[in-house]
Amino acid sequence: MKRKLRNWYTYASPVTLYPLVNRLIPWFAIPSAILFAAGLYVGFVVAPTDFQQGEVYRVLFIHVPAAWMGMLLYVLMSVYASLGWAYNIRVSSMMASALSMTGAMFTLISLVTGSLWGRPAWGTWWVWDARMTSTLILLFLYIGFIVLQMSIDDPRRADRAGALVAAVGLINVPIIYMSVQWWNTLHQGATIRIVQQSTIAPPMLTALLLMVAACWLYSVAVVLARLSCIMTEREHFQVAE
Amino acid sequence: MNHTVYVWGAYAVAFAAMGIEVWILMKRKQSVRKPKSGNQP
Amino acid sequence: MKATSAHGVIFRWLIWREILLSWRRRADLFSTLAFFIVIVSLFPLSVDPDARLLRSIAGGVLWVSALLSTMLGFHRMFSQDFADGSLDQLILLPQPLFLTVIGKVAAQFLLLGVPLVLISPLLGLQYGLTSTATLQLASTLLLGVPVLILLNAIGAALTLGIHGGGLVAALIVLPLCIPALVFGAGGNISLVGAVFALTLAFAPPATAAALRISLE
């Protein structure tokens, strides 16, 4: 039992973690590609046409997973950063930095796809509803984290400063969301919801879940790849060819 | 109204972004490996 | 009993020191105030100065301008003390660092925040606000500007000594200011008060932690 515990702790060292990370990447990349293909197949071929929105609703299968990944990765980023700060684990902070880019990218994708969905469905390129506005603010939170880390030269200071920003951001997310909702109800015109809560046919749900899983696996693969790059750049250890 | 343009556009943007991310990562991995042999402190 | 009075003495001394030092550089204060006035006056020039339109955007304009002005004025909150070494001494004071931060923020509010709040009714005149609306707006600013200063302190502490730190600090702080902005511009004094209470609780410790991070 004690030996097993000691084994897990050794992975906090970059030298031990690095080969593991590199071995893991294909195990996530390939299933991700398969799930993307499966999700798109079910979403486009199997799922029926929505009687309210026609074919346009199919953007949902990339918009919703991207939005969820954006939010999930922010939470993960904050957690890893805080752990790295609290317990002084470098690798944990590196993981947070690795997560930030992917999270920001997914948030951006969700904003763009949301806009491209809104135009044909509701006639406007942008809808100032609570969810889209909150997603935009989430993007700002990511950008703050990334820019802060880019502008600090000392890596340990960058890690800790990022952890503080991420933690403060995480605490503020519920407050920001509530304030945006309040603002939205104050100025509410017509009730517009990006995701209709109408009946979701089983094939639609399947496609959605497949796409979420695909995005999730993609994120793991990409973040691990970025982590491996960060480890090599910062730790200067020999990279075995 | 040709709404399928929007669907195609949305997926194109999403997969292009993911592709660019992967491409940037691969380039980063390459550049990290190259000067390693000469980088002894 | 003695310990508390010692804290009180240090706290009051801190505020007095801050006021004195900032007053010696009062050009900064005046220019930030002037900036606030100019921006607020610029908005009607950029839109159709229709009375109804102006009344409806007044809260938003004043709040955004206050936000930008405090952002402009406060990213250097700690840099003077950092440059001459007194920041290290302030951290070593026998009082908790977050109290020191509160002292600094309070001083800055007295120097810059209060004039800003007092000027806002005059600017409200430019936008044709009724006296009740003006009072409401000024009240939200009275409770909200401390929030902005408290949040800006976090950004200032995090970006100490970084080139172009002002922009980075602004990027970090702006999303955090959104609740205060939304509630303030919307005229809800009690919600701004709630945000103030919350921010007063978490921002000074966060700033203290940020100072320690930046000074390691």
Q: Best residue in A82, A142, A164, A181 to probe C by mutation, most C CBs within 10 Å?
A: A164
pLDDT band at C75 (very low <50, low <70, confident <90, very high): confident
Residue A80 scores a pLDDT above 90 = yes
Q: What is the pLDDT of residue C49?
A: 83
Q: What is the pLDDT of residue C4?
A: 63
Residue A157 scores a pLDDT above 70 = yes
Residue A6 scores a pLDDT above 80 = no
C110-169 tens-digit pLDDT: 999 999 999 999 999 889 999 999 999 999 999 999 999 999 999 999 999 898 888 999
Residue A1 scores a pLDDT above 90 = no
Q: Is A136 on the interface with C (CB under 8 A)?
A: no
What whole-number distance in Å separates Cα of residue C99 and Cα of residue C94? 10
A·C CB contacts under 8 A: 77
* Yes or no, beta carbons of A151 and C165 under 8 Å apart: yes
What whole-number distance in Å separates Cα of residue A27 and Cα of residue C183? 48
Q: Is A231 on the interface with B (CB under 8 A)?
A: no
**Domain ranges, ordered by start, for chain C:** 2-215
> pTM value?
0.91
Write down the ipTM of this complex: 0.91
Q: What is the pLDDT of residue C184?
A: 95
CB atoms within 10 A of CB C34: 11
Q: What is the pLDDT of residue A158?
A: 96
CA distance A204 to chain C (A): 35
- Taking residues C174-194, report their average pLDDT: 95
Question: Which among A58, A109, A238 has CB closest to B17?
Answer: A109
Q: What is the pLDDT of residue A37?
A: 92
Q: Is B7 on the interface with A (CB under 8 A)?
A: yes
Percent of residues, chain A, with pLDDT higher than 90: 61
DSSP sequence for C79-114: HHHHHTTHHHHHHTSSS-HHHHHHHHHHHHIIIIIH
Q: What is the pLDDT of residue A241?
A: 43
Residue C96 scores a pLDDT above 60 = yes
Calculate helix-pair angle for C2-24, C97-108, nearest 10 degrees: 40
Note which residues in 83-142 of chain A have CB less than 8 A from chain B: 101-102, 105, 108-109, 112-113, 116-117, 119-120
Could you give the 3-state DSSP secondary structure of residue A54? strand
pLDDT band at A10 (very low <50, low <70, confident <90, very high): confident
pLDDT band at A49 (very low <50, low <70, confident <90, very high): confident
Q: Which residues of A touch B18 (CB under 8 A)?
A: 105, 109, 218
What whole-number distance in Å separates Cα of residue C166 and Cα of residue C144? 21
Instruction: Give yes or no for a contact between A143 and A107, defined as CB atoms under 8 angstroms apart.
Output: no
* pLDDT-wise least confident of A31-35, A229-233, C71-75: C71-75
pLDDT band at A3 (very low <50, low <70, confident <90, very high): low
Q: What is the DSSP letter of A13?
A: S
From residue A58, give the alpha-carbon distance in Å to each of A61, A115, B15, C142, C178: 6, 14, 15, 48, 33
Residues 6 or more apart whose CB falls under 8 angstroms from that of A74 comprise A103, A138, A141, A142, A166, A169, A170, A173
Q: What is the pLDDT of residue A72?
A: 96
Q: Which chains touch C (3 or more CB pairs under 8 A)?
A: A
Q: Which residues of B touch A58 (CB under 8 A)?
A: 7
* Yes or no, beta carbons of A105 and B6 under 8 Å apart: no
Q: What is the DSSP letter of A49?
A: P
Average pLDDT value over all residues in chain C: 91
Residue A13 scores a pLDDT above 80 = yes
Residues 6 or more apart whose CB falls under 8 angstroms from that of C41 comprise C123, C126
Residue B1 scores a pLDDT above 60 = no
What whole-number distance in Å separates Cα of residue A239 and Cα of residue A230? 13
- Taking residues A165-194, report their average pLDDT: 83
Average pLDDT value over all residues in chain A: 87
Residue C1 scores a pLDDT above 60 = no
Q: Best residue in A229, A233, A234, A237 to probe B by mutation, most B CBs within 10 Å?
A: A229
Q: Which residues of A touch B11 (CB under 8 A)?
A: 40, 59, 62
Element (H, E) at C214: helix C189-215
What whole-number distance in Å separates Cα of residue C122 and Cα of residue C120? 5
Q: Which residues of C touch A165 (CB under 8 A)?
A: 158, 172
Instruction: Give yes or no for a contact between C159 and A162, defined as CB atoms under 8 angstroms apart.
Output: no
- Taking residues B7-33, report their average pLDDT: 92
Instruction: Give yes or no for a contact between C101 and C153, defined as CB atoms under 8 angstroms apart.
Output: yes
Q: What is the pLDDT of residue C3?
A: 54
Percent of residues, chain A, with pLDDT higher than 70: 89
Q: Which residues of A touch C101 (CB under 8 A)?
A: none
Residue B35 scores a pLDDT above 70 = no
Query: Between residues A182 and B4, which one has the greater pLDDT?
Result: A182
Please list the helix, strand and coil fractions of chain C in percent, rounded to the nearest 5, in that order: 85, 0, 15
pLDDT band at A120 (very low <50, low <70, confident <90, very high): confident
Residue B40 scores a pLDDT above 70 = no
Could you give the 3-state DSSP secondary structure of residue C126? helix
What whole-number distance in Å separates Cα of residue B11 and Cα of residue A42? 15
A183-235 tens-digit pLDDT: 988 876 544 455 555 556 778 888 999 999 999 999 999 999 999 999 988 87
CA distance C53 to chain A (A): 15
Q: What is the pLDDT of residue A12?
A: 81
Q: Best residue in A142, A165, A170, A171 to probe C by mutation, most C CBs within 10 Å?
A: A165
Q: Which residues of C touch A175 (CB under 8 A)?
A: 179, 195, 198
From residue A186, give the alpha-carbon distance in Å to each of A137, A183, A189, C15: 19, 5, 9, 39
Q: Which chains touch B (3 or more CB pairs under 8 A)?
A: A
What whole-number distance in Å separates Cα of residue A125 and Cα of residue A134? 16
Residue C16 scores a pLDDT above 80 = yes
- Taking residues B11-31, report their average pLDDT: 94
